[in-house]
A = this chain, B = another copy of it.
Amino acid sequence: MLENAIKNEQTLNNVKGYRAWLQYSKIEDKRMDEEYRSWFSAIGVAGDTSITNSAIKELSDGIESMLDVAPTVNVDSLQTASIILGTYQDIWIEDYGMSPELFGDLNNEGYVLKTTPNDNGEKKILLIGKTDKGILYATYHLLRLIQSRKPIHSLDIVDAPKNQFRMMNQWDNIDGTIERGYSGKSIFYYENDFSEDLERIKDYARLLSSTGLNAISINNVNVWDVETNLISKQYLPKVERVANIFRAYGITLFLSINYASPIALGNLDTADPLDEKVRAWWKKKVEEIYQYIPDFGGFIVKADSENRPGPFSYDRDHADGANVLAEALKPFNGILIWRCFVYNNLQDWRDRSTDRARAAYDNFKPIDGQFLDNVILQIKNGPMDFQVREPVSPLLGALKKTNQLLELQVAQEYTGQQKDVCYLIPQWKEILDFDTYAKGEGTKIKNIAGGTTYNNSNSGIAAVSNIGNDINWTGNTLAQANLYGFGRLTWNPDLTTEEITRDWIHLTFGHDPLVVENIEYILLNSWKTYENYTVPLGIGWMVNPGHHYGPNIDGYEYSAWGTYHFADRDGIGVDRTVETGTGYTSQYFPPNVEWYNSLDSCPDELLLFFHHVPYTHVLKSGETVIQHIYNTHFKGVEEVEDFIYKWDKLVGSIDNRIFENVKERLYLQLKNATDWRDKINTYFYRKSGISDNKNRTIY
């Protein structure tokens, strides 16, 4: 395989798919090349932290790659340099016409990127961070501008992240497998130990950091036997090694832990959070971890969910469960992230009064305010589980006195598993811009995640990673766009989908207009297309149990997972209204309660999530539900055919390995889409008995 052929870092970095959006391709335009070159004879830098060193290395390498010049780097001798890096405290910024007040308002990761004359009138480009992290982000910003062929002669940029925690969750197991991984094995682990390929981990850190991410948890939230030992002496020296790599890129390391660690590692007879022995054990354990990693981020915990242990075993609630850990982490400024993917485990499909969608809110709303301030609840974007379409979780915004972290899934578990193209930025934008009305109109999810709504001490956005040791990181190379976009959007949720998409295409593929146009077309349409050929109108699921790829309309219909569509001969959908259904709609703030609760106002795309309607129900689009199902499913397949047509046009215009990689997957997607179309259409035709009004083939 390719992996064997390409052995060392140098070679890997020659693979365009591997370089992802850090291509730093040679600038072909002579005029531009000269313009940029004029700036890069010498770089000056104040400070010598691992992060500033990363910034300098990244800048030098990037410049050398793009301009074929190796700029000299002068440490602490800035006079002769035209590019100057430093924190606002290390650089005499008044000399460059900047006021220190400018930095007073910036958070610790903010920066100024400015083209400005010094007091001798010599033009300089300044990359000034509030701290060294800001320097690194400014560096990536400058490199991005050059990659995008933007002018740099009159920069005047002040920027800072809108979210405090911008986090990636790896669901990697220490045996090298990845739960919901679709891009090979883990880059972190190999056969029950840490991988020795630290360069690969460093390159991942570069990718994450360049998009603005600043935190990572490196093991699966389902913590099994061996992984439990990650916080023991056996593995901590190797965890430290990985933490050091990420630290140099401004990324803080977290670990997922087993709630039963006091039993498994400490030989205690209980993990009861209110037990004094347990409390003492965690304190000692945390102290030990911080001896290895002084800036350790903290723990992430999935407890009492899908058979993982937790406080419920001891009749304690989630607050008791989280606080014992938070208390231990507190002296070191550590954070305890408690996942809210919690429901009363299995339910009975015969019992229509129980509603899994209600579970997160029902579990956590009553204990709002009982968590310590270094606890963050990590809440999935929707009430179910990363479906192609579901409403925003009503828990987001409902917790007024508890820190919250929005959880997204970059891994395409239910959205094509990185075989099918499904660009998720448009979905995430919708989520972030959703108005919860939690504090009146304009209380958007992005404000809640940003921490401004309730002045949270800790908040932000996390996501499940989509990378593995595939040569191109993400299986389908186009799935790199989701990783990139997640980082950018998390730094600044106000960026438009188009800005992020354009940036990613330029950075990855360059500037050929046809390449830009066709890839942009495919990406921007792909989510809707995926939705078209899969589950209709927000109902969700209908996938094969277990692996979750491909259609199985009744696959979860009679299961214990609470994921039903209730299709019968007359209609389909889950009644979640207050009057006749599960009452889930009441978990939203007004006017969203009414908006979803009323059949008249409920938006088409979520109709079946909230209402059970006849197949003949007329949508706002003017189509009946059944005709909508037929139309979207025929359309979805046609759209994939169109993607193939558009992709085929790019042969020769982009790297051939990437071309073939995506082409192969587009054909898999076409097969998948056809499979979905025919099974869904047949299923509903058999049930409803209503013919397609365009007389297309339904089997």
Contact = CB atoms under 8 A, between A and B. Distances in A.
Nearest to A697: B350
A53 interface: no
A688 interface: yes
Nearest to A678: B350
A522 interface: no
A569 B689 contact: yes
A402 to B, nearest CB: 37
Interface residues of A, number: 22
A83 interface: no
A679 interface: yes
A699 B351 CA distance: 8
A513 to B, nearest CB: 41
B568 A687 contact: yes
A61 interface: no
Interface in A530-554: 551-554
Nearest to A544: B545
Nearest to A675: B558
A570 B699 contact: no
Nearest to A550: B558
Nearest to A567: B686
Nearest to A351: B699
Given A349-B699, A569-B569, A699-B350, A558 B686 contact: no
A682 interface: yes
Interface string A119-143: 0000000000000000000000000
A682 B349 CA distance: 11
Contacts of A554: 552-554
**Interface residue SS majority, chain A:** loop
Interface in A52-91: none
Contact of A570 (B678, B679, B683, B689): B689
Contact of A568 (B350, B558, B686): B686
A553 B552 CA distance: 12
Contacts of A352: 699
A630 to B, nearest CB: 16
A558 B679 contact: yes
A687 to B, nearest CB: 6
Contacts of A678: 350
Interface string A320-356: 0000000000000000000000000000011010000
B567 A682 contact: no
Nearest to A352: B699
A569 B689 CA distance: 7
Interface in A173-203: none
A545 to B, nearest CB: 10
Interface string A656-697: 000000000000000000000011001101111100000000
Contacts of A699: 349-350, 352
A568 B688 CA distance: 8
A581 to B, nearest CB: 16
Interface in A543-599: 551-554, 558, 567-570
Contacts of A553: 554
Contacts of A568: 685-687, 689
A498 to B, nearest CB: 39
Contacts of A350: 678, 682, 699
A218 to B, nearest CB: 34
Given A558-B679, A679-B558, A686 B349 contact: no
Contacts of A686: 567-569, 687
A570 B553 CA distance: 19
A192 B689 CA distance: 54
Interface in A342-397: 349-350, 352
A552 to B, nearest CB: 8
A649 to B, nearest CB: 31
A526 to B, nearest CB: 25
A634 to B, nearest CB: 15
A558 B682 contact: yes
Interface string A32-56: 0000000000000000000000000
Contacts of A687: 568-569, 686-687
A570 B689 CA distance: 8
A567 B554 CA distance: 13
A575 to B, nearest CB: 15
Interface in A614-628: none
24 contacts: A349-B699, A350-B678, A350-B682, A352-B699, A551-B558, A552-B554, A552-B558, A553-B554, A554-B554, A558-B679, A558-B682, A558-B683, A567-B686, A568-B685, A568-B686, A568-B687, A568-B689, A569-B569, A569-B686, A569-B687, A569-B688, A570-B689, A686-B687, A687-B687
Interface of A: 349-350, 352, 551-554, 558, 567-570, 678-679, 682-683, 685-689, 699
